[in-house]
Amino acid sequence: MSWDASFDGEWWNHTHNTNNMIAAAYELATGESTEQAAGPLGHVIGPAWWQRLNGMNGAEGAAYLGQIVKGLEADPERFQAMNPPNGWGDYDGLLEVLVAMRDHSKLACCDARKWEASG
C-alpha cells in the first residue's frame, strides 16, 4: 500500500510503511500531537498526513512539508531505527521524496494550484 501526491504537474508515491516516521517527525518539529490508525496489516498508516496536504496551495504545502523534513533531519538515528523490518521504504528514501516535494512546492509559480494527495 502506498500514498500518492501531485502538485503542479509532478507526482510522488511512497509506501505507507514510513508514515509512522512522518507522524513522529511532524510532532517533533511542531509539538502537535498526531492521530494514528492501524492499517489492514497492522502497520501504522496515520495520521493521514496526506489528507492534511490534500488541497493545500504551494506556500501551505511547502510550510507543512518543511515541518516534516525539519523533524526528520533533527534526529536521523531515531528515524533510521524506525525503518520497516520488511525493507519496504526507509528513512533515506522518505526524506529524499519529502524534500523533493517541499522544494517543488516552494518553486511553484502560482499559489492557486493545489496539492492532490491520497492514500
Burial of 107 (0-12, 13-18, 19+ CB in 10 A): exposed
Residue 40 has pLDDT above 80, yes or no: no
Q: Which of 74, 21, 89 is nearest to 49 (CA)?
A: 21
Domain range for 71 is 2-118
pLDDT level of residue 102 (50, 70, 90 thresholds): very high
Averaged pLDDT, 50-59: 91
Per-residue model confidence (pLDDT) at position 13: 94
| Domains held by the chain: number | 1
pLDDT tens-digit map of 66-81: 999 999 999 999 999 9
Averaged pLDDT, 94-116: 88
